[in-house]
Structure 1
Amino acid sequence: MATSRKRVAKKSTSSRTAQLEEKLEDLVTILRASQPSNGHLHSAGPGDSSPLMNSSNMGHLTSRLESLATAAASSSSSETYPRPYPVSHNYDSRSTANTNPNTSPSSIGEDASTSFDPTPEEAEMCLAKFQQWLKNFPCMILPQDITAATLRKEKPFLWLCIMNITSMCVEQQMKMKDQVRQEIATRIIINHERSMDCLQGLICYISWAATTSSPGRPFIITFCQMAVLLAYDLGLTKAPVEEQYFTICFKMWGGRPPPPRLRTQEERRAVVSLWFLTSVMSSFVGKMDPLQWTPHMSDCLEALERDKLWPSDELLATFVRYQLVADEAQKLLVRDVMGETSSAPTYVFRKSLLAKLQAVRDGLPANMPITPVLQAHSLATEIQINSVGLFMQNIPVNQRIESMYSCLQAIRSWYDVFFDVPPENIPGAPFAIYIQLSQVQIALYRLTTSEDPAWDKEFVRNTADLLVLLDQVVELFTRVDSVYKMKTSQGEETVFAMGAKIMNNIRVSWEPTLSRHLRNASSIQTNPGAGPPVPTPPPPSTAQATMDMANINMIDFGDTERSEPHLISGDDEKTGSRSDTPTLNEPTQDEKPKKSEDGDGELTTEEEETEWISGWKLASMMISLTLAAFLMLLDMSIISTAVPRITSDFHSLPDIGWYASAYNLASAALQPLTGKIYMYFNTRWTFLALFFVFEVGSLICGVAQSSTMLIIGRAVAGIGSSGIQNGALTMIAKAVPIHRRPSLVGIIMGFAQLGIISGPLVGGAFTEYSTWRWCFYINLPIGAICAVLILFVHMPDHRANRDESAMQILKTKLDFTGFVLFCPSIVMLLLALQWGGLEYPWDSATVIGLFCGGGVLFIIFVYWEHRVGSEAMIPLPIVRTREVWASCLSQSFLFSTVMVASYYFPVYFQSAKNASPFTSGVNLLPSILSVIFAAVASGALAQRVGYYLPFATASGVLSSIGFGLASSMGPYASTATWAGYQILLGLGRGLGLQMPIIAIQANTSADVTPIAMAILTFSQTFGSAIFITAANVIFTHELRNELVRRLPDINADMIIDAGAGAVSDVVSGADLPQVLWSYSRGVRATFLLAVGTSCAMVLSSFGMGWKDIRKKPAPSPVSDEA
């Protein structure tokens, strides 16, 4: 039989050491308190008569006591800083600030008063107030008999933080807030102070962060990380014996290691409170992770519950127990948002989390008071649990509806608890309660706007009407502001006054969507044919539905700057973007607040019913936009036949390249910036302003008296044209719902193609029969018609409500630094493409320098845009969206085929068929008419079928086949042959003209559509420039090779310089057939390039997304089976 010897209880050596340490530090504290210094030991004044206070005796005694205290403490301290001066180890509850004599004294010592310090009476009132606040969240113990003066001596930084958050003067609060920042920098960073005073001060400040909220200079993340740093350096996250295992490696071996020091209850409270705060903040801010929970923290939590030195310890432990469950739910919500795959969906963990929550509730001590803040935290945890997977996954219908009802019941209970708190007690509520308010509002918004046919909206309205609840919150904050009287100066507002305004703004912006959903619910419930509502299952325990809170902010608590409500996409959960740029994954019109474009007020419920344009207004807008798009493309090509006459009038042959380049360069460089302008400013007036600039440029060109003046006019017209196509597409997006856009965009894009083809014909006619100036004058009357028609249209505006002035937006939102980098880079790249092989050889220093300079600047521009983030001129998150970049590639490839056909079919006709410019334009009619027909027909079919991807893919397939067939044409192809090939090409191009536009509009929100459209327009312009340059190089190279091969005795450069229309004038009749075949081969090479771009368009179209754009039917009434 095995026997065991019972160990005799032996008093721990470490406990005796701790007792000795306490006694010695008590003596040192008493002696320090008797000195008239800021916490530093020095000799008394010469006038002191007490022998004990004699300077020599005092210095000797305190030095001896400090040596003993340091020696005792060093056996238990985990810090071994190699310093040349004594360092106090501030681990005990009686620890003071760092007493290093070599550091500058604190600015908040007992004698270092400032003009904004509270008076002694005010300090006592602030301390008493804070002691009452601690009942809501007991993160530390401050005995009732402690005075403000004593606290300032023992823990000056904690005193400062308490005075700051409890101050009743806004100006004083702001000044003390600055002092808190300075103290943190001086103590923690510069002086390397590691004390419980600093840690408790930070915990206090973070816990009641709402009271010091103000715009600018965020502090939540910074202060949280500073507190975590202190916890690590003080060794609070690990057991002392565990920490000793690592630190002993740096000590001399020999003898027994010193016993580990004892953990105090003060330290235990601090570390579990800090974990609680970082966990709550991480669910709100989204840009930080909580302090990692360790086994030692579990020991600390159990010790607080077991020892019960203070009654409030049980309350603190309960807060932490609830948050441990909430933290697990938060991790599952992050998995939902980030789209992480796993063997099991997240919603299957709901029951186990609810069981853990119930276990915490069942284990509450019977004699522990249940405060409203604790009740609210319990309910918020329940809402969060029931939200797991609820809005992201396909949950079985019964389980989904049960979770939704449970979530709704818990939300109602949370609001009941919140509104039961007396207004005079609201200021003492910790910051966590305001985080819960934000999260609960978002959860209720999602439940109210759910399109689930089995979800009873009438029950939602009767249980928790969000509009009514928002009104009550506004009223509560207003009453708090009147009860909790704070002293304010001119222009200052209290945090609760700001909170009331922001809550009211949230209500106004959400009201249209919420009213529509609740109104629909009412009509369904009052419909006699509708089935009974789904029976409400008994609510489990509770349910907390937190959404993505990284970008939600009611008041500026430091780390977020928005004041508008904003539902963010999943990609932002951990990035916590602070941008005002809306997210992408919210394409439906219903999700956005609406306001009238002609005024500042929101649309009323009645106006919302007629928010889309129809009837004669839509017709007026379509005529105007189609004419504007036609003019823009006409202006690009009309000058081609007028250039010879212009150069003759101005004697400006060296400037011939600038007549086209000035327009294209200005347009391409400004196109991305116009997207930001359309995003922040009124769409219609922005469009008219840019169109006016275009008209002014046309007028300057028409009245030009010199070549320089003409070039300036072309540049001005290019600036105006930079936003015309983008603006037209943006106005279509705001005028009609997504399911009606394909046909309308098809009409605009189809008829606009007439501008490219008819430009040379119209320009030639004006030049020959009138004057070349009418090539520009024609824009003025047509432009006037466009402007008048647009002015008659009342257009809804789906931009988010903003309080910034126009100057503030220009300074902060338009990214002019990015524009300064982007503009010259694009100008240099386009100049290199236009001059290469024409003005300068491709291997010349000029062309190579332009490519290098433009490339380097573009790389810097991309880096800058990445650094700026979503406030950039071209926000990279938008560009990285698959549907956006795939649509831009498709548009670039598509317009390369448009430009190749528009440029090289006339070359074929004028060379191989010896047609005049006018006749070659007429020969393009099969292509033009088929493009218009296919564009309009594909828009109508896409509107009916509901999917744009098949048409985009078919466009690439038909275009590749058409160009492949066209490449087989010789100089003697019949009219039926080249007309048939053009029809096939026209059908291919027409099928895809508007599909990239529809794809972007269907996959982006209304707020970012202008930016996305600007990126698409730029890719169209820049891609066309690249491919037309490549086509020109290929054509010239192939033509020269064919001429040299077929006619080795003739000067090939002379034939090329003569041009396609003068071939028969420079070669003999015997050599003409070979020249015509050479031209046919050159055109064939460009058509083969177009075959490649058409195939690339097929591949890129697959990334545009498979999305149904048809109008969604209204939810059917809930049936008995549901």
Structure 2
Amino acid sequence: MPLSSLRLRLLVISLLSVSFLGALDHTVVSTSLATIAGELGALTLMSWVVVGYTLASTVLLPVLGKLGDVLGARRIFLGSLVMFLAASLACGFAMDMTWLIAARVLQGMSSAGLQLMSQTIIARVTTQRERPRYMAIIGAAFPIAILVGPVLGGAITDYWGWQWVFWINLPVGAAALGLALIAVPHLEPGPMPRHFDVAGAAAFTGALVALVLAVTWAAELTAGPATGAALAVSIAGFIAFIHIERRAPEPIVPLTFFANRTIAAGTALSAIIGVGLFSITAYLPTYFQMAYQTTATVSGLVPIATVFGMLISNLLTGWLASRTGRYRIFPILGTSMGAAGLFVMAVLPGGLPLWAPMVVMAVVGMGTGAFMSLIVAVVQGAAPPSQTGTITATINLVRQVGSTVATAVIGGVIGSGVAGLLPAGLDASTLTPQLVHGAAPAIQASVAQIYTTVFAPIFIALAVTYAVGIVAAVLLPQGHLSEEPVPAPHAPSESFSA
């Protein structure tokens, strides 16, 4: 559905604003968590402010993708935006932690709709050739939110109060809503399904909730019977989900998608982004505070360099792919850069100036950005137009699940590895950077070596993950992005294109 140049620009501004709000809401809360927990008097529930948001935004992806195809992306997008604003208002008025967690769950649900429908709408109004450029612009919301979110959240909490971390969404969101009502076109929905896949949605939701609970509890080192039971429920749920999807007349995740090589390879590449980079970013500041003896402020420079590299590369490759119509070279180069950079991180000797790992991780970020948004655009072009929302949800889902599971696994490896190597007299549960920096030089050197030893195999494992991504990228079919307009979803042609 072609749009005028002016309306397309307004649409991109609207979608970028809303995508940034959704992405920022996930990062801006991190620096205010301690204040929120202290004022609401529920420190033990603090992690659920984040977990509830993440869980809700993950489990609803396939359902929202299907609803976007059936009811129309515009309806789901506008409904999600209204719900997001209402949930933001409720978060700021929270009187206790239970109220806040419930409101954050609603925020997570609506944020999933905003992110997913933004990508779906772009796919529906652009040609395959135009799509990478606009998808890169929308995708820039995530790295920008990572860069500014923690600082903005801290400043708002210190000067306005933590409630404004949520209320700041209201004026920006209201303006974006007004613009969206004008700019987002009425997109023709697909045919109404005769049978909505309720059983598949229920099985998937139950399995994914159990999985997130299992990895969260394991990462908190509270593994026990409940963790094992949650993992068993998750495995059984995913087995049931696959069984249901294979027989459902209109599944929420059509498994036939993966017979298409572009979709299969693109889905693998999306998962690798979550597992290979997003999972380690949260632990980099701790690593540099302990292994390089930096302050908390200075340690944040490495993730910033990583994300900045990701942002630049994401925009550049989106522009190049739209300009040339070629796309396969970018994931091949990107995964190669990621694998090489993470391997270098594993073998970097101690005592180097901080700029050395900053440069290396910037290369990893650039490699990831080279195909982060591009692969979504490519996979969308390989699916029938009537299932654009469904395939967009699938590729986002594997990335988010990969990130969640890998983050928990890495956290567990770091916790147990450090605890097992610490010399007598040091307790892992009370070990802080401040304590180490104030200790004798011999203790500092010992702790630095321990963290280097523990992180080296983690970096190698992530480098191997990117190496698998090289294989997936090579398996992408040779293709050229089409300049033909995307047909309406009810069009009779259901053929795949690369």
TM over 0.5: yes
Task: Note if 1:734 corresponds to 2:113.
Answer: no
Paired residues, what number?
485
Aligned to 1:1049: 424
Task: Note if 1:687 corresponds to 2:77.
Answer: yes
Aligned match for 2:336, one of 949, 954, 957: 957
Measured against aligned partners, the alpha-carbon deviations of 1:1032-1083 in whole angstroms (never above 9, x if no partner) come to 122223323442xxxx2223423xx444565435x44441222123223333
Q: Helix, strand or coil for the counterpart of 2:283? A: helix
Structure 1 Cα separation of the partners of residues 274 and 413 of structure 2: 18
Q: Is the 8 A contact 1:798 1:1007 kept in 2?
A: no
Q: Is the 8 A contact 2:23 2:141 kept in 1?
A: no
Q: Is the 8 A contact 2:309 2:369 kept in 1?
A: yes
Task: Note if 1:754 corresponds to 2:126.
Answer: no
Task: Note if 1:628 corresponds to 2:18.
Answer: yes
Q: Is the 8 A contact 1:632 1:755 kept in 2?
A: no
Alignment of 1:922-961 (within 5 A): 922-961=301-340
Task: Note if 1:1064 corresponds to 2:437.
Answer: yes
Q: Is the 8 A contact 1:934 1:991 kept in 2?
A: yes
Aligned to 2:394: 1015
Structure 2 Cα separation of the partners of residues 1003 and 1061 of structure 1: 52
Aligned to 1:845: 225
Aligned match for 2:154, one of 752, 764, 775: 764
Alignment of 1:36-55 (within 5 A): none
Between Structure 1 and Structure 2, the one with more helix by share is 2
Aligned to 1:1024: 403
Q: Helix, strand or coil for the counterpart of 2:140? A: helix
Task: Give the superposition deviation at 1:614.
Answer: 4.0
Structure 2 Cα separation of the partners of residues 753 and 1002 of structure 1: 24
Task: Give the superposition deviation at 1:1110.
Answer: 4.1
Task: Give the superposition deviation at 1:794.
Answer: 5.0
Aligned to 2:366: 987
Structure 1 Cα separation of the partners of residues 312 and 460 of structure 2: 25
Aligned to 1:659: 49
Aligned-residue RMSD, C-alpha: 2.3
Aligned match for 2:468, one of 1096, 1099, 1102: 1096
Aligned to 2:206: 824
Q: Report the identity percentage.
A: 24
Aligned to 1:715: 105
Structure 2 Cα separation of the partners of residues 676 and 1060 of structure 1: 47
Q: Is the 8 A contact 2:292 2:354 kept in 1?
A: no
Task: Note if 1:862 corresponds to 2:242.
Answer: yes
Larger radius of gyration between Structure 1 and Structure 2: 1
Task: Give the superposition deviation at 1:872.
Answer: 1.3
Measured against aligned partners, the alpha-carbon deviations of 1:370-404 in whole angstroms (never above 9, x if no partner) come to xxxxxxxxxxxxxxxxxxxxxxxxxxxxxxxxxxx
Q: Is the 8 A contact 1:1035 1:1082 kept in 2?
A: yes
Q: Is the 8 A contact 1:904 1:1083 kept in 2?
A: no
Indicate how the Cα distance of structure 1 residues 758 and 901 shifts in structure 2: closer, same or farther if over 3 A, else same: farther
Q: Is the 8 A contact 1:734 1:795 kept in 2?
A: no
Structure 1 Cα separation of the partners of residues 116 and 355 of structure 2: 38
Task: Give the superposition deviation at 1:918.
Answer: 4.5
Q: Helix, strand or coil for the counterpart of 1:1109? A: coil
* 2:209 aligned partner, one-letter code: V
Structure 2 Cα separation of the partners of residues 634 and 1080 of structure 1: 32
* 1:825 aligned partner, one-letter code: A
Aligned to 1:646: 36
Structure 2 Cα separation of the partners of residues 938 and 655 of structure 1: 41
Indicate how the Cα distance of structure 1 residues 925 and 656 shifts in structure 2: closer, same or farther if over 3 A, else same: closer
Structure 1 Cα separation of the partners of residues 158 and 141 of structure 2: 26
Aligned to 1:1083: 455
Indicate how the Cα distance of structure 1 residues 768 and 621 shifts in structure 2: closer, same or farther if over 3 A, else same: same
Aligned to 2:493: none
Task: Give the superposition deviation at 1:923.
Answer: 4.5
Structure 1 Cα separation of the partners of residues 390 and 12 of structure 2: 22
TM-score by length of 2: 0.91
Q: Is the 8 A contact 1:900 1:1090 kept in 2?
A: no
Aligned match for 1:1108, one of 467, 480, 485: 480
Structure 1 Cα separation of the partners of residues 407 and 6 of structure 2: 40
Q: Is the 8 A contact 1:914 1:1061 kept in 2?
A: no
Q: Is the 8 A contact 1:694 1:717 kept in 2?
A: yes
* 1:961 aligned partner, one-letter code: A
Q: Is the 8 A contact 1:739 1:943 kept in 2?
A: yes
Task: Give the superposition deviation at 1:940.
Answer: 1.6
Indicate how the Cα distance of structure 1 residues 673 and 1040 shifts in structure 2: closer, same or farther if over 3 A, else same: same
Indicate how the Cα distance of structure 1 residues 1084 and 652 shifts in structure 2: closer, same or farther if over 3 A, else same: same
Q: Helix, strand or coil for the counterpart of 2:385? A: coil
Aligned to 1:775: 165
Q: Is the 8 A contact 2:288 2:294 kept in 1?
A: yes
Q: Is the 8 A contact 1:675 1:726 kept in 2?
A: yes
Indicate how the Cα distance of structure 1 residues 766 and 1112 shifts in structure 2: closer, same or farther if over 3 A, else same: closer
Q: Where do 5+ consecutive residues of structure 2 fail to align?
A: 486-498
Indicate how the Cα distance of structure 1 residues 697 and 905 shifts in structure 2: closer, same or farther if over 3 A, else same: same
Q: Is the 8 A contact 1:640 1:760 kept in 2?
A: yes
Q: Is the 8 A contact 2:72 2:188 kept in 1?
A: no
Alignment of 1:217-616 (within 5 A): 611-616=1-6
Structure 2 Cα separation of the partners of residues 778 and 1097 of structure 1: 39
Structure 1 Cα separation of the partners of residues 457 and 151 of structure 2: 26
Aligned to 2:267: 888
Measured against aligned partners, the alpha-carbon deviations of 1:72-93 in whole angstroms (never above 9, x if no partner) come to xxxxxxxxxxxxxxxxxxxxxx
Q: Is the 8 A contact 2:217 2:227 kept in 1?
A: yes
Structure 1 Cα separation of the partners of residues 343 and 135 of structure 2: 28
Aligned match for 2:382, one of 1000, 1003, 1022: 1003
